[in-house]
Amino acid sequence: MSSSVATAPQSGAEQAKSWRTNRKLDQWIAFWSVPFFFNVFGLVFVPLSWMMPPRSPSSPTPHIVDFMHSHNLLIACLILTLAYGLAPVSNALYLVQIKRMSVSPAFRYSMMIGAITGAIVGMLFPMFCFGLGAFRPGYSPGVLTMLYDFGYLAFIGSLGCFCVMWMAFGLAIILDENRILPKWLGYYTVWQYVTELMAAPVWIAKTGPFAWNGLMTFWFAMALYVSWQFIVYLCIYKTIKNQPESELDNAAPQPAPAAIEVSSRTGA
Amino acid sequence: MTSLIRNPLTIVWALLAAVTIASSLIAVDGGASHQINTTVTTVVLLIAAFKAHLVIRYFMEVRHAPVWLKATTTGWVLGLFALLFGFYFAAL
Amino acid sequence: MTDVAEGSATGVDQSQRAADTRGHVPGEASMWFFVVGDLLIFAVYFVGYMYFRGQNHELFLASQARLNVDIGAINTIVLLTSSLFVALGTAAARAGNTASGLRAFWIALAFGAAFPILKMFEWIPEITAGLTPGKNLFFMYYYVMTGMHLCHVALGLVIMCFVIRNLKTSTMPKISFIETGATYWHMVDVLWLVLFALLYLMR
């Protein structure tokens, strides 16, 4: 996925030429892909398909069948299939910053693997499940119910990968002596890990506050998750801005101003 | 050894242990009767609030902390127990 | 609240009064951010529990009767004692008495480690008797809340090991780090005090 610059220009209008030589362009592209990605997801999951907030785990079968065959779910899955590739891009933002920290590379690798497995299990699996229902008519209600359970549980109950990811990130921030990101954010990230633990009961409860649409496991966890998500990107914005150019990974030596081939190595 | 016993922290601990045992005894018959008991609940919750307050003030040293920290922690104890009592009595 | 022997916990008294107006935040402020936030998160669980209890009195009362109040009470005392020694150890370290501090923290660790062991003696018989998280809403709350708390205890024990290592190996122990670890541990204690009352004692 190599999107061109649709969303990059955020430095003033008169500096339109300089954005192309901005050495942090790759990070800014990745950064601005995030609100785009999240908004697409928000639209797809909520008003378009009403997949979110999660439907009840104890829905009667006819409702499940209707939902799985609904037109809107089809469109939602279509968009999801196309936009899925943006997930790694948004995760790249974390990894670029964690690389600058004084902590062991083990944190970075843990976070990377956690993000990879998390994206597969937490987003790809549900996409398959709901996609199967939407794109392939003809499955029996029993199979559709299983796909429905599978999809939601994969989305909300996929804890392990994200646990590793957030714990690695949180610990890295707390232990980092270069103070790349503020320490309180590290502690806040530990709560991300806690929200994953909080979601564990969804595997057991089919009704009530601990079901996958429950007060404790979904609504409360989401309140913590979403607020963190906003805040972390604000912090990342500041950090990218403050990052000294000499520290950039793609910092090529600067012999002369003739270096106009912007090193567009997205995501190395 | 005597300095340990006379240490204010130890005295606080002894008080905490004593009220813990007291409240365990108050929770009469381990609940075998399956009955709501507002007196037991009120006493037990008040004791819990008191214990939390002591641990925060003395062990966590909030006694010597700036006003904003005192206010936040006290606010937590008061707010939490107000809600707990509120929901408890509202549902009776 | 009752003023218990308003004497010198750490030997600084009159000078403390003056400093009180500004106040001393034990340990790092970011840990206090975590502590307050964690207290709030658990508070949502506590209040949620109380709310749902109000809708299911018989269920909750009948389920509560199956809990082991004795182990609950012993665990409460265990954590309180552990906290005491953490507080004593912190004060000793601050006063420069590293050996004393180290001893206190070892004792604190021992008591702290007893908590999960006792908890196993509580949970395993319960689970084998069929009292699982899926049994009913009370038991779900019980296992989720005590489980989350147990994770906090485990983390606290790990932190305490690092504190002990700091006291053992360095000539100048980092007081701020010790205070930070102590603050976290006391928070774990406070949470348990509320849990004990809500799950085991209230009717």
Residue C158 lies in a domain: yes
Total tally of structural domains belonging to chain C: 1
Segment C122-141 shows an average pLDDT of: 94
A259 pLDDT higher than 80:
no
Residue entry with tokens 């520290």? A247
Q: Residue A153 domain-assigned?
A: yes
The reply to whether C55 touches chain B by the CB within 8 Å rule is yes
Q: Which residues of A touch C41 (CB under 8 A)?
A: 191, 194, 224
3-state secondary structure of B91: coil
Q: How confident is the model over A156-201, as pLDDT tens digits? A: 888 888 888 999 999 999 999 999 999 999 999 999 888 888 888 9
pLDDT at A7 over 80: no
CB of B26 within 8 Å of a chain C CB? The answer is yes
Chains A and B touch (3+ CB pairs under 8 A): no
Domain with C160 in it: what CATH number? Answer: 1.20.120.80
What per-residue confidence (pLDDT) applies to C122?
A: 96
- CB contacts under 8 A, C 77-106 vs B, are 77, 80-81, 83-84, 86-88, 91
Task: Report the residue of chain C nearest B4, measured CA to CA.
Answer: C88
CA distance C159 to C55: 39
pLDDT over 90 at A254, yes or no: no
Indicate whether A219 belongs to any domain.
yes
Between A166 and C6, residue with greater pLDDT: A166
Structural domain including A110 reads: 22-242
Instruction: Convert B20-30 to b/e letters by CB count within 10 Å (16 or more is b).
Output: beebbebbeeb
Domain-embedded: residue C28: no
- Do the Cβ atoms of C36 and B44 come within 8 Å? no
Query: Shortest Cα distance from C74 to chain B (angstroms)?
Result: 9
pLDDT for B28: 67
User: Using a CB-CB distance cutoff of 8 angstroms, which residues of chain B are in contact with residue C194?
Assistant: 48, 52, 80
Count CB neighbours of A222 within 10 A.
17
For residues A122 and B18, the model is more confident at B18
In this predicted structure, the answer to whether residue A267 has a pLDDT above a threshold of 80 is: no
Tokens of A193: 């890990």
User: Measured between CB atoms, does A186 come within 8 Å of chain C?
Assistant: yes
Percent of chain A whose pLDDT exceeds 70: 87
Q: For chain B, what is the domain count? A: 1
Domain that holds residue B23: 2-90
Q: What is the pLDDT of residues C41-91, one digit of tens each?
A: 999 999 999 999 999 999 999 999 999 999 999 999 999 999 999 999 999
Residue C3 lies in a domain: no
C15 found inside a domain: no
Which residues on chain A are in Cβ contact (under 8 Å) with C37? Answer: 187-188, 191
Q: What share of chain A in percent tops pLDDT 90? A: 27
Domain that holds residue C178: 33-201
In this prediction, residues B51-64 reach a mean pLDDT of 95
Q: C18 in a domain, yes or no?
A: no
> Token digits for A36?
């785009």
Query: A40 in contact with C at a CB cutoff of 8 Å?
Result: no
The answer to whether the CB atoms of C37 and A186 lie below 8 A apart is no
Half-sphere exposure of C40 toward its Cβ, with a 13 Å CA cutoff?
Answer: 14
